[in-house]
Amino acid sequence: MSQTVQSRESNQPTGASLTPVAITNRQRFLNACHCRPVDHPPIWLMRQAGRALPEYRALKEKYTFLELVQTPELASEVTLQPIRRFDFDAAILFSDILVVCEGLGQRYQFRDRGGIEMEFLLNSAADVDRLQVEAVTERLQYVAKALPMIKAALDGRTALIGFAGSPWTLANFMVEGGGVKEYTKAKALFYSDPPLFARLMEKLTQAVTNFLHLQIDAGADAVQLFDSLGGVLSDGDFARASGCWLKQIVTGLKGRVPVIVFSKGTHGNWDNLVDTGAQVLGVDWNVRLADVRARLPEHVGVQGNLDPFLLCTTPEAVAAGANRILRDMQGRPGHIFNLGHGVPPSAKLENIGSLVSAVRSFK
């Protein structure tokens, strides 16, 4: 497959040979999103910005996580750090899925001993009614200000990904009051009070859709929906509790940019995930990508799915794991290389470098 695109400068003399120009990382990523041919799979990593990088840890000594997220200049800097170091094909906005909850009026913070805590619990119809969908875009203007800064720094060379949490995943945090070991309250609401569950999900779906439009307006080339708690649901309930709301969001974005849906642990619901209309489906590390490849239509891209733990081992182990996935996906248009979940804090920089090298040198 060609590694070049042809220059079409209007001032080129008639009959002159066209000059080959190397494809940009951004175009490689977008081509893969649309299942078009690429020279090699594009690569970016979930949580590539953050705890594994010494330059991020240096910032964290001066600022809190929320300050980094809510200050456009700082969010821009953190987003760009892994691009400077590893030249990934795409940058993903440094933010948090819970900013949508904040935009609705349910703020979040971090407990002294770690973990997320919501300002109040959603445990009644009155609490759901308090959520203000119309306020989301105004309250999240710090995101709208950060994205153009990042876009300008990327200068057309690297794709920019925006993101949001899925309605189902956000609902879990909102009714539990934060992060917990076992998520049960959203499932209880789904089963015991379907009308109230639907009211909450309708608000979340509209809020997420509005937030993603804000990010696209501000320069995002693609967006990803993180359905991190999709695997909490049984196969039979996934479509009604999560899948149908994801589909509404994808439909509401009207094809403005490619949409990636990453639903962790939902291995029995590939048909439901395809039905969302997403251009690309992210895959966790608990399934072989070749098996997923066989189940998905050729027009749907596949993103993943190296076990994140390998980044804590050796460069050789990382390269071996990457090459197995690359061989499984060889010849399949639309493969975007990524991890099966986020970069762990203990990931070694030499291992991330080994992964990028393995993907870019694969033949």
- Which long-range CB contacts under 8 A does 290-298 form with residues at least 24 apart? 290/328, 290/329, 293/328, 293/329, 293/332, 295/270, 296/270, 298/35, 298/333, 298/334
Predicted confidence at residue 113, as pLDDT, reads 65
pLDDT of residue 112: 64
- State residue 92's pLDDT score: 98
Q: Alpha-carbon distance 151 to 76, whole Å?
A: 9
Cβ atoms of residues 304 and 284 within 8 Å: yes
Q: Where are the beta strands (DSSP E) in 171-251?
A: 222-227
Low-confidence ranges of the chain (pLDDT < 50): 1-20
Q: What share of the chain is helix, strand, coil (3-state, %, to 5)?
A: 50, 15, 35
∠ CA 184-187-188 to the nearest 5 degrees?
Answer: 85
pLDDT for the residue numbered 21: 58
**Strand (E) or helix (H) holding 195:** helix 194-217
* Confidence (pLDDT) at 5: 39
- Say what the pLDDT of residue 116 is: 87
Predicted local distance difference test score (pLDDT) of residue 117: 87
pLDDT of residue 132: 97
The CA-based angle 81-82-85, given to 5 degrees, is 90
pLDDT value of position 355 = 98
Query: Which pLDDT value is given to residue 14?
Result: 42
| Strand, coil or helix: 215 | helix
The CATH number of 40-361, from 1.20.120.450, 3.20.20.210, 1.10.645.10, 3.40.50.720, is 3.20.20.210
Q: What is the pLDDT of residue 13?
A: 41
